[in-house]
A and B are shown apart, each in its own frame.
Chain A
Amino acid sequence: MGWSAWIPMSAPSGGIVGHPASVARSDGITNIYVRGTDNALWQRAYFGVQWHGWGRHGDSMQLTSSPAVASMGIDHEHVFVRGADGHLHQKFWKAASGWSPYFDLGAPPGGFKGSPATVSRNSQVANVYVRGNDDALWQLPWFNSIWHPWARHNDGMVLASDPTAGSMGPNHEHVFVRGTDGNVHHKFWQAGPGWSGYFNLGAPSGGFRGGPSTISRNPQVANVYVRGNDDGLWQLAWYDNSWHPWGRHADGAITAEVALASTSAQREQVFARGLDTNVWQRWWVPRIPTIDVNLISVGRDNFTAANIEQMLNSLTATGQIYCQADFNVGTVRRYVISAADAGALEIIDSAAEAEQLTDGWTVPNAALDVFVVRSMNGADGWSAVGGPCDKNAGGSVMTGTVVSLNGDLGNSGNTFAHEIGHYLGLDHIADADNFIGNNGSSNSNTRILAWQGDLMKKHCMVVHI
């Protein structure tokens, strides 16, 4: 509830090494940083209400870790990496001057392992945390406009992962690490009392891989995410002044620690490396309205395993398109019509046949009937525009939408989104790259405009939790 589908964010050529890093320095700007297979720093930016392409940083730094990123203000961003020399290196971006060169920030006396973590709890303070080669937590602080020496946390904790750091306010900072017991351990700093001792926060049932990641989207909420031993995304949440049990995200396999960002107090973004070593994104907002779907295979006897896979993936693609406008596919129930019962309508050759199918068949529930045929001639799909919620209104309007598996997955994914979009009230638009644009010739487009999502969400079939 509240979570979008996983949206593919691609990757520099060859995928990414390690885990991504991300930051939202304002409500309209998010940046993802990754280590490419060329060991260069790569960046992908969201601004101007859209994601732009991956870009390679043109410096000569060869990364030997995943990057870390934070922002000390809406016009500032800085990135920390471990270089080939084992030192921590920093570069920063300011609106006025653009990117700085790298600065060598050295290393703890015995060196450090893995990747750095960083956080700025206010515009005057930045901290970098690393796991020393002695498996202790080490900290590099910035305040009074200068970097201070590396300091060791002599708290007895033996780290078994990189640390992660977050802040729940200008005078609060907390660090999460994996202990040698395989659990997440947490300590926090507050102005005045200083550092707390460690608290054991346990682990997902089945344990987890690597280290934790954390973010606070507002001062009342903190979330910790880990990659479970089952490669699922697991989440531990702090709200109402207490930690709640570990919960698993139902879908998606991840292959590294996740990166987190938040553009507002009620929005949280997760960036993960998928099985394809590309970056994937999902996000949380308090309520994402959904459309429940009855997926009806017409002529099921002749649906191959590949047809069924394409059908299900097409609906997933639809969710991914809609999610960009904070709308999603909800509960999906599957139904079949046998080839004998479908007769000549197993393959649709006109809008009239599509009407005949929706007139004759209806799933007796409140969800949208999506009739899936293997093949259609003269079109990829047909639908009512602003179809009814009363599915017994047959005879006066199409009471469902009819889609085909024509073309490849890119085509049929668009077909499903496009035709369901019609049913939920959308007309074609002229925009060449819109999912229902190009005056109808939109097949394989994935872009959606916010008003299109808002309009669909007003349809009477849409579920608002």
Chain B
Amino acid sequence: MSSELSPPVAQILRGEHTPDPASVAQLPPDDSAQLAAIARGESRAALRVKALSCFTGTAEGGELFRAALEDRDADDTVRAAGAILLSRTDGTAETDLLAALPDEPSAVVRHKIVAGLARIGAEQAVPALTDMLDDAPADLRDHVAFARSVVAYRLGRTGFELPGVRPEDVLPAPAPPQPAEVGQADPAPAGTASKVAADVASDNYGLPLDSSPVTTVRCGARTYAVIVNADVFAPYSRLERPAVAGLVASRAPVDGSYHTSMIVLCHPDGASGLHIAVYHPSGPARYVGSGTRSETGIEFELAAVRGPGAVETTITGVCGRDGFTEFAFTTGRALPAKAPTPVEE
């Protein structure tokens, strides 16, 4: 860290993992001003991005993130940070994101803006994303369409249902003699629900985190927290429209923090049927299947979707407003991942 930084500022920029939100709030005014100056105009992008992250959840964050998003003279990593952090603040970030999107030159910043609009879920994003769909370059088009659907599902709007996965792209169920790993699902240990709620608060896709039940699922070395959307299951009539049925947050082994890793979207399929799919927040489908709706909950069965590194999986269960009454998770063979290209030296 540069020598001109005050020791508390240097210290605060040193966090390796998720920053402690309290640390910025406790800074003396001069140091706080120095950190804000770095977040506002530091020429070294890599340092400015770090400083911006420190203002997550603070009152001055919104203005700093907005300035970063709009700074066309800055590195694309600065504008990406602005888009990501702005979409995780309360307020009216969708206006700023929508204003920045059409002229943003960087593909990855456009991705982060589109992901941010999906995260915020504001109604005005639907027509704006529709407008840009035709002009979007190929690599962005799927993401734009997915983001628009996420917003629509969240609002219970029909007309933007995501297409089903082709049958040949659904992986078969894990079968003997392939050794199968069976995931364990338990009600979350005491304190986990509030920890998960705090960690994914700015990445909640509209779920009422204080009332939504949390179940932990262990698979190998991974721990997932599955959050069921309490609003959607009560009343069950909400399931007659497209809905965000839940979230999956994965637990980072290095510090135990939880991060939204998948969104569960469902829409009606026939009189009492449901189409259910689980997506990464940036679009690719991970699991797909169906459910049957009754007055007490939905009974569902999901399978993995073909893709690099995808793993044959069967997930079955019964879910109600209090969470899962049944849950089983079995995995089998993994498909090969993609191989990065070697650099000739």
Binding site for B on A (CB under 8 A): 294, 296, 299, 302, 333-347, 349-353, 355-356, 359-364, 374-386, 388, 391-399, 405-408, 410-412, 414-415, 418, 422, 428, 438, 440-444
Contacts and interface: CB of A to CB of B under 8 A. Distances in A.
Given A335-B343, A347-B108, A397 B16 contact: no
Interface in B213-264: 219-222, 249-250, 252-255, 257, 259-262
B301 to A, nearest CB: 19
Contact of A334 (B261, B280, B336, B342): B342
Contact of B282 (A344, A361, A393, A410): A344
Contacts of A386: 221
A401 to B, nearest CB: 10
A396 B221 contact: yes
B76 to A, nearest CB: 7
A352 B261 contact: yes
B203 interface: yes
A224 B326 CA distance: 73
B220 A382 contact: no
A377 B81 contact: yes
A382 B252 contact: yes
A396 B45 contact: no
A335 B203 contact: no
B302 interface: no
Contacts of A349: 84, 112
Nearest to B12: A441
A443 B220 contact: no
Nearest to A399: B337
Nearest to B220: A396
A342 B338 CA distance: 11
Contacts of A393: 220, 334
A320 to B, nearest CB: 18
B340 A363 contact: yes
B128 interface: no
Given A361-B339, A395-B311, A379 B221 contact: no
Interface residues on B, range: 35 or more
A298 to B, nearest CB: 8
A378 to B, nearest CB: 6
B18 to A, nearest CB: 6
Contact of A440 (B2, B15, B47, B85): B15
B339 A363 contact: yes
Interface of B: 1-2, 11, 13-19, 44-47, 49-50, 52-53, 56, 76-77, 80-81, 84-85, 107-108, 111-112, 115, 139, 143, 181, 203, 219-222, 249-250, 252-255, 257, 259-262, 280-283, 307-311, 313, 331, 334, 336-343, 345
A407 B50 contact: yes
Determine chain B's interface SS by DSSP, over half rule: mixed
Contacts of B203: 350
Contact of A444 (B14, B80, B343): B14
A246 to B, nearest CB: 27
Given A379-B15, A396-B181, 11 more contacts: A335-B343, A338-B341, A344-B283, A345-B282, A355-B250, A364-B339, A375-B45, A378-B56, A379-B16, A383-B253, A408-B46
A368 to B, nearest CB: 13
Contact of B337 (A299, A338, A361): A361
A309 B145 CA distance: 38
Given A377-B53, A377-B81, A440 B220 contact: no
B46 A395 contact: no
B46 A394 contact: no
A343 B109 CA distance: 10
B312 to A, nearest CB: 9
Contacts of A347: 77, 80-81, 84, 108, 112
A397 B221 CA distance: 5
B139 A343 contact: yes
B279 to A, nearest CB: 11
A407 B10 CA distance: 11
Nearest to B110: A344
Contacts of A351: 250, 252, 254, 257, 259
Nearest to A394: B309
Given A346-B108, A396-B219, A397-B221, A352 B260 contact: yes
Contacts of A363: 339-340
Nearest to A356: B280
A443 B337 contact: no
A377 B49 contact: yes
A390 to B, nearest CB: 10
* 7 tightest A-B CB contacts, nearest first: A396-B220, A352-B261, A375-B77, A335-B340, A351-B252, A395-B311, A344-B111
A334 B334 contact: no
B143 A375 contact: no
A373 to B, nearest CB: 9
B16 A418 contact: yes
A140 B111 CA distance: 76
